[in-house]
């Protein structure tokens, strides 16, 4: 009988751990930041660079700052914006981008984009490409981008 109770207690503890751990972890990074429409441009094979786009929505009460994006597809990846100067569109490298509380930021052609330099074309064979998003509070998560 004692053994049975102990077993039940252990099981209960395991269930509790199982339920609370992923929840606590998710709170830290992803649940309050939603990524949608994540895609990477399928450029011709002669191209060495490509770009990736997405929309990020911050449903939390806290401003978040995206400080880095990385991926196994390329060693050099930068966050870029496009500015118009004297009628010309010029790409600008930005160090970080604010994702304000309860709002969204869209990365799209002609605007914010993830610049991917000298990427490994073997990734064309994969359905998706993983990108890691890192924030100033130390949190991070991986999102999979579809070739398009």
In the complex, minimum distance from the CB of residue 46 to Cu ion, in angstroms, rounded to a whole number: 18
Task: Specify the long-range contacts of residues 139-146, CB closer than 8 Å, at least 24 apart.
Answer: 139/28, 139/29, 140/29, 141/29, 141/30, 141/33, 143/35, 143/38, 143/54, 144/38, 145/38, 145/39, 145/40, 145/52, 145/54, 146/38, 146/39, 146/40
111-124 b/e with 16+ CB inside 10 Å = b? ebbbbbeebeeebe
Tokens representing residue 78 in the block: 């930068």
Interface with Cu ion, residue 14, by CB under 5 A:
no
Query: Which residue number, 67 or 115, has a Cβ lying nearer to Cu ion?
Result: 115
Q: How many residues bind Cu ion (CB under 5 A)?
A: 3
Query: Which residue number, 91 or 94, has a Cβ lying nearer to Cu ion?
Result: 91
50-109 residues near Cu ion, rule: CB under 5 A: 80, 91
Query: Which residue number, 32 or 81, has a Cβ lying nearer to Cu ion?
Result: 81
In the complex, minimum distance from the CB of residue 81 to Cu ion, in angstroms, rounded to a whole number: 8
In the complex, minimum distance from the CB of residue 91 to Cu ion, in angstroms, rounded to a whole number: 4
Interface with Cu ion, residue 115, by CB under 5 A:
yes
- Residues in contact with Cu ion by CB under 5 A are 80, 91, 115
């Amino acid at each position: 009988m004692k053994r049975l109770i102990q077993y039940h207690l252990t099981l209960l503890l395991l269930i509790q751990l199982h339920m609370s751990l992923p929840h606590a972890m998710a709170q830290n990074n992803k649940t309050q930041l939603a990524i949608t429409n994540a895609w990477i441009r399928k450029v011709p094979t002669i191209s060495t660079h490509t770009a990736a786009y997405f929309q990020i929505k911050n449903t939390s009460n806290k401003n978040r700052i995206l400080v880095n994006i990385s991926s196994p597809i390329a060693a050099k990846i930068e966050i870029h914006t496009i500015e118009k100067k004297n009628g010309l569109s010029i790409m600008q490298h930005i160090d970080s981008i604010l994702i304000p509380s309860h709002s969204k930021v869209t990365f799209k052609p002609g605007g914010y984009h993830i610049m991917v330099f000298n990427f490994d074309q073997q990734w064309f064979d994969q359905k998706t490409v993983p990108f890691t998003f890192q924030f100033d509070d130390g949190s991070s998560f991986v999102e999979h981008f579809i070739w398009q």
